[in-house]
Amino acid sequence: MPIRTEIVSQDRIVFQGEADLVMLPGVEGVMGILPNHAPLLTTLQYGIITVRSKSDDFYFTVAGGIVEVQPDQVTILADAAENVAEIDISRAEAAMQRAEEMLKAGVPQDPDRYLKIQAALRRSTLRIDAARRYTQGRKKRD
Amino acid sequence: MPSAKEMRLRIRSIKNLAQVTKALETVSASKVRKAVQAVNATRPYTEKAWKVLVHLARQPGHAMLHPLLTQRDQVKKILVIMMSSDRGLAGSYNVNIVRHTLQRFHQSEVPVEYITVGRKGRDMLIRRGCKVMAEFSDIANVPTFADLSTVGRLAINSYLEGSADEVYVAYTQFRNMVRQEPVIAKLVPMDIEVTSQTHGGVTTHPSNAVFEYEPDESGLLDEIIPRFTALQVYQAVLSAQASEHAARMVSMRNATDSARELGAILQMDYNKARQQAITNEMLDIAGGANALAESRAG
């Protein structure tokens, strides 16, 4: 029995399909969800979601969110999510550089701004990481 | 009868006016499209979020699960978040939402405080002597979720602190280009059954099994429930924005139409007056010529 998997972020459906295994970065560590898992509700960390189906593996980056697990379905309400294959490495690298430079130029006094920059940095690091790890042989785009 | 010059001036100014309103209409039309897209884009997320909430509500003793789900026995203070626009020229958009809100809450026996989003609504409420606790203006066109999380957080905090026992959100629901309805919905404490119905049939999972929570129940609900409240606020703002732009577009189209009509009438009057003047002149000349000819002959 496959698991019906849905990944949605606030502005779109990121993934919808059947899977045999879903790996999630839960707050207390990575967990693998197999069919007939007990109902579970948990929050997510920054990390990578792996959706394994018979024919293919899909990888997604996720920046926090909520997961609801039922025996035959997994619903992921992501704060932000992206298919790793869609990641543009050069853009992510540029974003990372921008964030690093902003932090180097001096830590802003405004805590909100600081958190924003930090979140941007974490996000871009994660995306670069994921893209490098899961899309082998893909050339960097100019 | 105004002079020909005055009439020409008036016609010109009305034509300019029609041009300006036409431009505003076009701008609003494109903004409506964007706003509606934004509303539609959040729909899958909202549906799934409600599904999760409905599942939560089925848990035994859910009313006690979290303070934001618990109805208070006595309501001593009400907080209303009202969405309006920063700018006018949107027909009766702002008036409608303010009237609808006041109808519901002005006669209330319980003190009511307001949080306003948008300058127009704030001004109207203050003029009527309502207590405005906080106001947000200059909300970006098609805002991000993060832009609005403060509004939701403020509502939740005042509920948890006890400075409000019920929180409502008043906004204009976008139905279509010509129909926008003012709506008032209860935000906190969350009434899951009612609210999920208004969000359109949510297909839920048949299982009634008890959830496991990770890390723990209260920590998780503290995370989830405020998020859903913020989501409701976010959707209300998006819908209100779509309505605002649609209302402005329609009212600007009406203004353009009437300006054109008025311009046409004035132009007609002007042409008539001009022709009349020419005819008169012709008659004068003809009369003069006749008189001259008669005096020669005589």
Q: Is the pLDDT of residue B122 over 60?
A: yes
Which pLDDT does position B168 carry in this prediction?
Answer: 92
Percentage of chain B lying above the pLDDT 70 cut: 92
Q: Mean pLDDT across the stretch B20-33?
A: 93
pLDDT at A136: 53
Nearest Cα residue to B100 out of B180, B191, B166:
B180
Residue A6 DSSP label: E
Q: Confirm or reject contact between B43 and chain A (CB < 8 A).
A: no
Whose structure tokens read 């002079």?
A: B3
Cα separation, B172 vs A11, in Å, equals: 21
Segment 48-87 of chain A within 8 Å of chain B by CB: 66, 68, 70-71, 73, 75, 77
For chain B, say whether A6 makes contact (Cβ under 8 Å).
yes
- pLDDT tens digits, B220-237: 888 888 888 888 888 899
- Judged by a CB distance cut-off of 8 A, whether residue B129 touches chain A is no
Whether residues B215 and A39 touch (CB distance < 8 A) is answered with: no
On whether the CB atoms of residues B169 and B152 are closer than 8 A, the answer is no
pLDDT of residue A140: 43
Kindly state the average pLDDT of the residues B227-253. 91
Q: Would strands A73-78 and A3-9 be described as parallel, antiparallel, or unpaired? A: parallel
> Does B200 have pLDDT greater than 70?
no
- Set of chain B residues whose Cβ sits within 8 Å of the Cβ of A27: 214-215
- Burial status of residue B48 (CB atoms within 10 A of its CB: 0-12, 13-18, 19 or more): buried
Contact B96, B184 (CB under 8 A): no
Measure CA A83 to chain center. 8
- 3-class secondary structure for chain B? CCCHHHHHHHHHHHHHHHHHHHHHHHHHHHHHHHHHHHHHHCHHHHHHHHHHHHHHHCCCCHHHCCHHHCCCCCCCCEEEEEECCCCCCCCCHHHHHHHHHHHHHCCCCCCEEEEEECHHHHHHHHHCCCEEEEEECCCCCCCCHHHHHHHHHHHHHHHHHCCCCEEEEEEEEEEECCEEEEEEEEEECCCHHHHHHHCCCCCCCCCCCCCEEECCHHHHHHHHHHHHHHHHHHHHHHHHHHHHHHHHHHHHHHHHHHHHHHHHHHHHHHHHHHHHHHHHHHHHHHHHHHHHHHHHHC
Chain B CB contacts of A40 under 8 Å are: 211-214
Q: Tell me the pLDDT band of B143, cut-offs 50, 70 and 90.
A: confident
The answer to whether the predicted template modeling score (pTM) of the entire model surpasses 0.95 is no
Q: What is the pLDDT of residue A138?
A: 43
B213 touches chain A (CB under 8 A): yes
Note the pLDDT of residue B284.
Answer: 93
This model of the complex carries an ipTM of 0.76
What is the pLDDT tens value at each position of chain A, 142 positions in all?
A: 889 999 998 888 899 999 999 999 988 889 999 999 988 889 998 888 999 988 888 889 898 888 999 888 999 999 888 888 888 778 888 888 888 888 888 777 777 778 888 888 888 888 888 877 776 544 444 4
pLDDT at B152: 86
Position B16 pLDDT exceeds 80:
yes
Q: Which amino acid is at B252?
A: M
> What per-residue confidence (pLDDT) applies to B63?
58
Measured distance CA(B64)–CA(B40) in Å, rounded? 33
Span B190-208, average pLDDT: 63
What single DSSP character describes residue A36? Answer: T
User: Which pLDDT score is estimated for A67?
Assistant: 92
pLDDT value at residue B41 = 87
Distance CA A84, CA A51 (A): 12
